Chain A
Amino acid sequence: GQGVEQPAKLMSVEGTFARVNCTYSTSGFNGLSWYQQREGQAPVFLSYVVLDGLKDSGHFSTFLSRSNGYSYLLLTELQIKDSASYLCAVRDRYNQGKLIFGQGTKLSIKP
């Protein structure tokens, strides 16, 4: 079947890093994207990956392994304002346009 899984919660410390994991299964993979959602707001696009490897975008980096159905979002030099939920979403190649989200990981950052 199809599905996107994320851990519900993650805690880290200001100034360090956090890795938000995402595993997925789909009949035809056609890209994975990450979004940030602050409390009471709409999700905001962060990154899109379709090829294996690490994509470095500065504060946010994204890793993808298609053979393992696995991705992570790496946040470095954490700030308190990075506290938010992070959602990954997978696009299905065989259902044109279908985009499935995971439940999101709520990242809490302590001073």
Chain B
Amino acid sequence: EAAVTQSPRSKVAVTGGKVTLSCHQTNNHDYMYWYRQDTGHGLRLIHYSYVADSTEKGDIPDGYKASRPSQENFSLILELASLSQTAVYFCASSPGQEVFFGKGTRLTVV
């Protein structure tokens, strides 16, 4: 079964600080995604990638950067964390149709 591992699973960050969320997949999928989910809401696409060393902006990229240095790894970087970025972040990978999600990272910015 496809495995997508996110780290950390939970983090408290200070406003203005830098936060890096990491994602690792072991199934050699081409596509990788970062979504955020706010309480009671759906998934909103932040950044995605369909090949190593390349990333694409999603629907809400402002305040976030992404990096995909290899097929397996996809990071989300918050250079200056803000209160509005408190949310659950999901990383996902896909070979094309089915999408496999990590367990999520709960980020709280204080």
Q: CB within 8 Å of B: which residues of A?
A: 6, 31, 33, 35, 41-45, 48, 87, 89, 95-104
Contacts and interface: CB of A to CB of B under 8 A. Distances in A.
29 contacts: A33-B97, A33-B98, A42-B103, A45-B98, A45-B99, A48-B98, A87-B42, A89-B43, A89-B99, A95-B56, A96-B50, A97-B48, A97-B49, A97-B56, A97-B94, A99-B33, A99-B45, A99-B48, A99-B94, A99-B99, A100-B45, A100-B59, A101-B35, A101-B42, A102-B42, A103-B41, A103-B42, A104-B42, A104-B43
State which size class the interface on B falls in: 20 to 34
A19 to B, nearest CB: 19
Given A31-B97, A33-B98, A100-B59, A42 B90 contact: yes
Contact of A42 (B41, B50, B97, B102): B102
B38 to A, nearest CB: 10
Interface of B: 30-31, 33, 35, 41-45, 48-50, 56, 58-59, 90, 94, 97-104
A60 to B, nearest CB: 14
Most chain B beta-carbon neighbours within 10 Å: one of A33, A35, A45, A87: A45
Contacts of A43: 43, 90, 99, 101
B98 A101 contact: no
Contact of B99 (A35, A96, A98, A104): A35
Contacts of B100: 45
Nearest to B49: A97
B66 to A, nearest CB: 13
Most chain B Cβ neighbours within 10 Å, of A43, A48, A100: A43
A35 B43 CA distance: 11
